[in-house]
Structure 1
Amino acid sequence: MLVTITIFSLVATSSCTKENFPVLIGGVPVDPTSVTDIDGNVYPVSKICDKFWMTENLRTTRYNDGTVITTGLSNTAWGAATTGACAFYDDLSTNNTTYGKLYNWFAANNTKLAPTGWHVATKAEWTALIECLGGSSVAGGKMKSTSSLWAAPNTGASNSSGFNGLPAGFKGTGGGYSSIGNSAYFWGSNERNATQGEYILLDDDFASTAANGATKTFGYSVRCIKD
C-alpha cells in the first residue's frame, strides 16, 4: 500500500524563525518526537498526560522572532533587570549543555521565548500535570530523572512520566548561583503579583513537588508545551 507523507516546508526569509510544522501521514498528524528552537537546538518531546512537553530545559539565546535575549549581566544589573535575561549556571558552557539556561521571569513571560507553535508552561498546566501524576505528594518523583546528577537520596525518583527533570539549580536575585545537583526550579509564565512570578520546585530530598511565587529576577529553568 502506498503511504503518502506530506511535510510542510518553510520558505526562509531574513526575518523568519525555524518553524515546527506537523508531519502528516495519510492526512493524519504524527505525534512530534522533537522540536527545534531558533538557535537550532533540538529537544526531545514526550506526550505526558495528553500534552506534548519538551523533556529537556530550554537553551535558546534568542526569542523566536530573532531578538537576542540579554545575557552576560553583572550581578547588579541582573538584580535590577525589568526585561528578559538569561544565563547558565556558573557561566560554564558544560552546564548549559546539560541543564539548559536559567531565565528570569521577564523572559519566561515573553510569548516569543518558546519555539514557534510552542509556549512556556503556565501555572495551570504545571498544576494539571502534577494532578495527573498523582498529586503533589508523589509527582516530583515521577518527574525527576534517575540520573546521578541528582544528589543522594533523590527520594522517590523514577522518571516514570518521562519528564526527565534535572537539578539545574538557580540564579539568585543578586546574581549568584545555588543548588545545582539538589533542586530544579521551573517558571510558570504567569505573574503571581507585581513583584513575583509562579514557579514549581523539584528537590533531591522529596518525592513531592512544591509551588510558590518568587521575585521575577530569579533565574529558573523553562519547559515548553506544544500549543
Structure 2
Amino acid sequence: MYSKMITSMGCATLLLSALTFIACDAESSTWQAEWVEPEPPCRTSSEDNCEYGTLVDDRDGQTYKTVKIRDQWWMKENLRFRYVEPTSTLDSSSFCYNDTLQYCEMDGRLYLWSAAMDSAGVYSDNGKGCGYASECNHADVVRGVCPLGWHLPSKEDWDILMESTGIGSFGGEKLKAVTSWNRNGSSWNLTGTDDYSFSAYPVAPMFYLNGQYDYGRRIYYGNDAVYWSTASKDSLNSIALILRSGDHHVSFGVYGFAKINATPVRCLKD
C-alpha cells in the first residue's frame, strides 16, 4: 500500500502531449493525501456489483445515471444542461463539440470554468463572479451549473474519490471507461478497467488558441478527459482532473487547466 499518491509527469512531457493549455507549477510536483484503505472494486469484466441510481434534472427533464463510490454519489455521465449565459466576447458559455448537437447528446456539453461555476449567479451565489482572471477559492459548496441537490466537485471532493479508489501514479485505468480511448499504437490496454463504474471517457475540450477557439482539432478526439473543480490554481487556471490515452497517469492538483477553455462537468450529490 502507499501513503502518497504521486503524479510523476514532468512539465515538458505534459506540454508535449497535451499542448500548452496546461500551465505547469514548478513549485509542486506531487499530489498527496492521507492514507485511506481503498474501496474494493465493485465492477469486473464478468461481474457488476456497483450501486446505481438516477438523477432527473428538473430544469430540462434530462435523466442521468449515477453511481455510489464509498460515500459519494457521482454522475456517471457528463452534464448536458444548456447553460447559455453570455461572456464579454461570446454569446454562450457552454458548447457542443464541433458545434454539433449530436456530440452534446453523446458526450455532454463543454463548459467554460465561469459556466461550470455559474458565475452569473443564476442558480446560487457561491460561484457568482468566478470566472477567467478570478481566483475564487471557496470553502462553501458551489452548486455551479449542476442540478438542484448536486454540486461542482471541489478539490477535496476529487481527493476523496482518488483516495477511495486507490489511484496512484498509474491508476487512471480505474476511472476510465473500457471503450472509446485511443491506443496511440501502444500494445498496452489503455482503455481502462472502469473498476468503480465512473466511466470517464475522452472528450476533446474546446481550447482558446491564437486568439480563437478550437474544438480540439490539434489533438485527436479520443485522447483526453478533463473535469473541472471549483478550485483555482491561479487567476487564469483551475485545478482539473486530467486523464490521458497515452498512459495511466492521473494529473490533479499539480497542473492547472486554463479557465478560458471549455471542458465537461461531472456533478456530485450534496
Q: What is the distance in 2 between the residues matched to 1:138 and 1:158?
A: 12
Aligned to 1:176: 214
Q: CA deviation at 1:138?
A: 3.5
User: Residue 260 of structure 2: which of 217, 220, 224 is its match?
Assistant: 217
* Aligned pair partner of 2:111 in 103, 106, 109: 103
- What are the superposed Cα offsets for residues 5-32 of structure 1, whole Å, 9 maximum, x if unpaired? xxxxxxxxxxxxxxxxxxxxxxxxxx87
How many Å separate the matches in 2 of 1:112 and 1:189? Answer: 9
Measure the CA separation in 1 of the matches of 2:263 and 2:176: 16
Residue 181 of structure 2: aligned partner: 150
Q: Which segment is superposed worse, 99-108 or 202-211?
A: 202-211
Structure 2 counterparts to residues 1-227 of structure 1, below 5 A: 33-37=53-57, 38-62=59-83, 68-70=84-86, 77-78=89-90, 85-110=93-118, 111-147=143-179, 149-152=180-183, 153=186, 155=190, 157-173=192-208, 174-178=212-216, 179=219, 180-211=221-252, 212-227=255-270
8 Å CA contact 1:202, 1:208 repeated in 2? yes
Cα shift at 1:215: 2.0
Instruction: Look up the equivalent residue of 2:100 and give its one-letter code.
Output: L
CA deviation after TM superposition for structure 1 residue 190, in Å: 1.7
CA distance in 2, matches of 1:201, 1:45: 20
Give the conservation status (yes or no) of the 8 Å contact 1:100–1:221: yes
Report SS of the residue matched to 1:33. strand
State, as a whole percentage, how many aligned pairs show the same letter.
28
Q: Measure, in 1, the Cα distance between the counterparts of 2:171 and 2:71.
A: 16
CA distance in 1, matches of 2:85, 2:225: 22
CA–CA distance in 1 between the matches of 2:164 and 2:170? 11
Structure-2-length-normalised TM-score: 0.63
SS at match of 2:173: helix
Aligned to 1:24: none
Unpaired runs of at least 5, structure 2: 1-50, 119-142
Cα gap change, 1:168 to 1:156, in 2 (>3 Å): closer
User: How high is the TM-score relative to the length of structure 1?
Assistant: 0.74
RMSD of aligned Cα (Å) = 2.2
More strand, by proportion:
1
Q: What whole-Å deviation, never above 9, does each CA across 1:140-197 have from its counterpart, x for those lacking one?
A: 10110011x2111552610011100010110002310114211111111222222221
SS in 2 for 1:136: coil
How many angstroms apart in 2 are the aligned matches of 1:87 and 1:136? 32
- List structure 1 runs of 4+ shifted beyond 2 angstroms: none
Cα displacement string for residues 22-55 of structure 1 (whole angstroms, at most 9, x for unaligned residues): xxxxxxxxx8711122111111000013200000
Cα–Cα, structure 1 residues 32 and 132, in superposed 2: closer, same or farther, change >3 Å?
Answer: closer
Distance 2:232 2:203 in 1: 22
Q: Which runs of 5+ in 1 are unaligned?
A: 1-30, 63-67
Q: Deviations over 1:35-84 (max 9, x none)?
A: 1221111110000132000000001014xxxxx434xx8xx935xx9xx7
AA partner of residue 213 (structure 2): G
Show the counterpart of 2:24: none
User: Which AA in structure 1 matches 2:81?
Assistant: T
SS at match of 2:66: strand
What is the aligned residue count?
A: 183
